[in-house]
Chains A and B, each alone.
Chain A
Amino acid sequence: MITEASIPRLARGVRLREDAARGRTVVLAPERLFVPDETALAVLALLDGARGAGAVIDMLAAQYDAPRTEIAADVLTMLEELADKGVIVT
């Protein structure tokens, strides 16, 4: 269960990488590849292993000038899905 107090980071073996040949950013994981959408990419780019989910939500709410409660719901759902896929750990 991911909460605002969680500190999510990319799991070992997962890498966020530029895919120059196709002009996009991809998530490389064990024998899998995800193409994150713009929102997921914005979240993943903020995971540095120190920053908590709450701080990520603060930054995105400011960046998109959107209500914090909406951003919080979206981000926590997305982090939960990424954790289920093994892309991030806490």
Chain B
Amino acid sequence: MSIDPPLGLLAELTHRCPLRCPYCSNPVELARLAQELDTETWLRVFREAADLGVLQLHLSGGEPTLRRDLPALVRGAAEAGLYTNLITAGVTLDAARVEALAEAGLDHVQLSVQDAEAASADRIGGQAGGHAKKLAAAAAIRAAGLPLTLNAVVHRQNLDRLPALIDLALALGAQRMEVAHVQYYGWALANRDALLPTRAQLDAATAVVDAARAGLKGRLVIDYVVPDYHAERPKACMGGWGRAVMAVSPAGRALPCHAAESLPGFDFPNVRDHGLSAIWEGSEAFNRFRGTAWMTGPCRGCPRAEQDWGGCRCQAFALTGDAAATDPACALSPRHHLLAEAVAEAALAGSGFTYREPGRPPSPRS
């Protein structure tokens, strides 16, 4: 079997972040500063990625701008021919920092917001004054001429303000917006009761997106997908395991998905010890759920097996205890009822959060 090279590399440069979002996609066991890869190793990884066939580099975290060597990393990636995308919370960016990144060859910035209203946004992000800093960062990004995507992370506590979030994207000069429903593993799973939207909220949001897409054609591109807990079919998570994207953790572990460290029984190879090509093509971890041969249950022989690739392995493990099970987001999964039960349970729950804190992983859900 010939293995197609990855199109994207997700470089999680650090797990450090000044925000404490209760749905953070980082693992519950956060890497410490002393474990982070150094500049030279990242630059080597970027060159190896370009040689392997990677076209797009996503510089993420944690908050990637906390890395003092970020301009050097952007420069090295651009020199390797990679399209560079910075995924930032924006609260640590100022005009000088943005200008240095633009000059180093940065192609695009994706800025996250927690809500359209400052008080709610600051409560969700867990940092007073954070929202205002993001607005200033957006202005600096546009002043530097960089294209901007606004990433609005949505859930029950802000989804009703989606029209205001779209207005915010326009006001900030974004050409693109991601309406990103929270995905429920790790920190977000621990906060699921406080975050899951109701069906009525979701239907209203979908109508808002449809109308905005039509009305803003040519001005704002909106990316939006129905969240798993209200879906009938799973998503092709990461475009399929070991198919489109390689993620590298702050400590250098190469992962088929940035959340894969939550899966037990894996020995994820480290970029300090192995080249990217050997990891992508030859490692047991990348081959375990690649393709369709590993599938069981409703996935095996399913006509959609090569469209959704069985869905999300992390969600399958989080909800069923078996990483090789069909993602319960699929209506054909014998565990699909778990999602509707979770939605019903969340509708009766309160709005308090367990915030992301280093060294304090949330207690696992039963």
Question: Using a CB–CB distance below 8 Å, which chain A residues touch chain B?
Answer: 11-13, 15, 17, 19-22, 26, 28, 30-31, 33, 83-86
Contacts and interface: CB of A to CB of B under 8 A. Distances in A.
B85 A33 contact: no
Interface stretch (B144-152, B318-326, B348-356): B144-152
Contact of A12 (B7, B147, B149, B221): B147
Contacts of A30: 85, 107-108, 110, 147, 149, 175-176
B298 interface: no
B291 interface: no
A21 B217 contact: no
Contact of B55 (A13, A33, A84): A33
Contacts of A26: 55
Interface in B195-231: 217-218, 221, 223
Contacts of A83: 218
Given A13-B108, A31-B108, 6 more contacts: A11-B147, A17-B55, A17-B81, A17-B83, A31-B110, A31-B149
Interface SS majority for chain A: mixed
Contact of A86 (B5, B110, B145, B175): B175
Nearest to B178: A31
A88 to B, nearest CB: 11
Given A30-B110, A86-B176, A15 B83 contact: yes
A11 B83 contact: no
Interface residues of B, number: 24
A55 to B, nearest CB: 23
Interface string B301-339: 000000000000000000000000000000000000000
A86 B221 CA distance: 7
A29 to B, nearest CB: 8
Nearest to A15: B83
B191 interface: no
Contacts of B175: 11, 13, 30, 86
A31 B85 CA distance: 8
